[in-house]
Amino acid sequence: MARPRVRAALAALATLAAFALVPAGCGGRFDLPTERPDNFVPTDQSYAMLATWSNQPGVQDLLLTQGLGNQLFALFNQGGTGGPAVPRGEVRLYPLTRPEAIGPPYFEALRSLFNPVALSAGSSPVRLFVLDQGDSCRAKFDVRRNSCEPDPDTTRATGHPFRNQIYDYSSTWRVREYGLGGGDTVSTFTDTTIAQPFGIAADNQGRVYVAGLVVVLDTNQIDQRIRTRKAVSRVYRYKRGLRYPGVLDVNMPGTASWHRDTTWLVFDGTGASSVSDPRGLHWSPVGTDPLYIADRGNNQAKSVSTAQVAVPIARVDGSVTGAAFNHPEGVTADLAGFFYVVDRENRRVLRFTTAGEYIQRVDVEPNAEGLPLLDPTSIAVDDSLAYIADRGRGQIIRFKRRP
């Protein structure tokens, strides 16, 4: 019987002989650290899917207040009609690790929102701002005709045609301000020049930014007596209080607490500091205090200066990944200086540096059912966590960045 050392030597020779049968240059099949057959394994510093919170129908926007004691808010919009007597939207507060909302709708007054579409937090002390698109039918409801539609009688008979106008400004779009701990409305405002708002952001100076489509009068260059209404894209900024003592902003009926800051705005266009159909907004205190914009019409995301007009900082279109953006909807940034873009029609979320350099894809792992994003609308982040609102599946998906 061979001794143990002899048996070990014979086994080693047998192993070498087996490898000698393999043709030169043809290694045996083995899994690389970053791949497996039919299953992508993320590399270090990618995002891991931690949990899928299902049964979140109507989820529209997410907000994670950053820093110590951060809180996660979710805005829901159930759609439909019916005015304020029929609740269509609400805001809920969630723990960071569980899908069960904390108590009833966080602000009871928000149960009467018309058509809420976006959330933001800012100012000092921190306030929560809700962008409500309003109910245009209720705002234009004409009790004489029992209708909000344009007058079908165009014969110019006595009193006809009745003007298709706004009768109830409380039902138009507006920004609603609340304390972060709940309670009654702190303030509210609207702007009659904005036809449809889509995005909102707030900075630490108490200013509020609103993105949307604005109605302007375009003067005919040949005959300046002729002016035509047209819709253009804008991002406006609003400041607290009155611009001049005792003088209300004529475009902002019903409030003495706010006025539009005409010293700053973002114009319509295709350039690095202009927009077309702007959607999500986010203001960041990192670096030069940029305002991030999901520029849906230009299929870009960009950051612009909030200190000066028409000064661009960064612009991205997703093409570095091999696929350009297709209707980006949401944008946010973390306190480390990275910003995130919800590329809605491409069903993905991408992460960039402050300068616009592509870093990684956040939703690299599917949800708990093994399914990719269906209709992402928003993302909320801190230094390592990311929450994505998938309105298509009625889910909030929680990710964490690997070290």
Total count of residues recorded for the chain = 403
The answer, yes or no, to whether residue 315 has pLDDT greater than 50, is yes
Tokens of 206: 């108490």
Q: What's the pLDDT at 403?
A: 79
Domain ranges of the chain: 33-134+172-401, 137-168
The answer, yes or no, to whether residue 117 has pLDDT greater than 70, is yes
Q: Are 254 and 262 in contact (CB under 8 A)?
A: no
Q: What's the pLDDT at 106?
A: 67
Q: What's the pLDDT at 146?
A: 86
Residue 95, Cα to own-chain centre: how many angstroms? Answer: 20
Taking alpha carbons only, the member of 136, 121, 66, 116 closest to residue 96 is 66
Q: Which ranges of 180-221 would DSSP assign to H, the alpha helix?
A: none
Q: What's the pLDDT at 204?
A: 92
Q: What's the pLDDT at 202?
A: 97
Long-range contacts of 242-251 (CB under 8 A, 24+ apart): 251/191, 251/192, 251/193
Q: Are 313 and 288 in contact (CB under 8 A)?
A: yes
The answer, yes or no, to whether residue 89 has pLDDT greater than 60, is yes
CA atoms within 13 A on the CB side of 288: 15
Tokens of 352: 């960039």
The answer, yes or no, to whether residue 292 has pLDDT greater than 70, is yes
The answer, yes or no, to whether residue 18 has pLDDT greater than 50, is no
Q: What's the pLDDT at 207?
A: 97
First to last CA, the chain: 54
Question: Taking the model in full, what pTM does it have?
Answer: 0.85
Taking alpha carbons only, the member of 344, 310, 309 closest to residue 327 is 344
Tokens of 348: 């993905």
The answer, yes or no, to whether residue 303 has pLDDT greater than 70, is yes
Label residue 17 by pLDDT band (50, 70, 90).
Answer: very low
Mean pLDDT score, 286-306: 96
Taking alpha carbons only, the member of 207, 205, 204, 206 closest to residue 235 is 207
Distances (CA, A) of 17 to 153, 156, 283: 97, 102, 66
Mean pLDDT score, 379-403: 95
Percent helix, strand, coil in the chain, to 5, is: 10, 40, 50
Q: What's the pLDDT at 166?
A: 84
Rounded Cα–Cα distance for residues 20 and 11 (Å): 14
Rounded Cα–Cα distance for residues 403 and 401 (Å): 6
Percent of the chain whose predicted confidence (pLDDT) is above 70:
85
**Torsion (CA) 116, 117, 122, 126 in degrees, nearest 10:** 30
pLDDT in tens, 338-367: 999 999 999 999 999 999 999 999 999 999
* Mean pLDDT for all residues in the chain: 85
Q: What's the pLDDT at 41?
A: 46
The answer, yes or no, to whether residue 11 has pLDDT greater than 50, is no
pLDDT in tens, 168-220: 887 889 999 988 877 788 999 999 999 999 999 999 999 999 999 999 988 88
Rounded Cα–Cα distance for residues 118 and 165 (Å): 26
Label residue 108 by pLDDT band (50, 70, 90).
Answer: low
- Enter the CATH code of domain 33-134+172-401: 2.120.10.30
Long-range contacts of 296-300 (CB under 8 A, 24+ apart): 296/327, 296/328, 296/329, 297/233, 298/270, 299/324, 299/325, 299/326, 299/327, 299/328, 300/325, 300/328
Q: Which ranges of 52-175 would DSSP assign to H, the alpha helix?
A: 136-139
Q: What's the pLDDT at 85?
A: 54
Instruction: Identify the weakest region by mean pLDDT among 95-109, 170-184, 266-280.
Output: 95-109
Taking alpha carbons only, the member of 394, 401, 400, 402 closest to residue 53 is 394
Mean pLDDT score, 239-261: 93
Instruction: Identify the weakest region by mean pLDDT among 180-184, 267-271, 366-370.
Output: 180-184
Q: Which helix (H) or strand (E) holds 216?
A: strand 208-219
Residue 80 burial (C-beta neighbours within 10 Å; 0-12, 13-18, 19+): exposed
pLDDT in tens, 24-74: 434 433 333 333 333 444 455 699 999 999 999 999 999 999 876 789 999
Mean pLDDT score, 303-314: 96
The answer, yes or no, to whether residue 10 has pLDDT greater than 50, is no
Label residue 104 by pLDDT band (50, 70, 90).
Answer: confident
Mean pLDDT score, 122-131: 89
Is 110 or 289 the better-scoring residue by pLDDT? 289
Distances (CA, A) of 153 to 139, 141, 162, 294, 334: 21, 16, 8, 42, 55
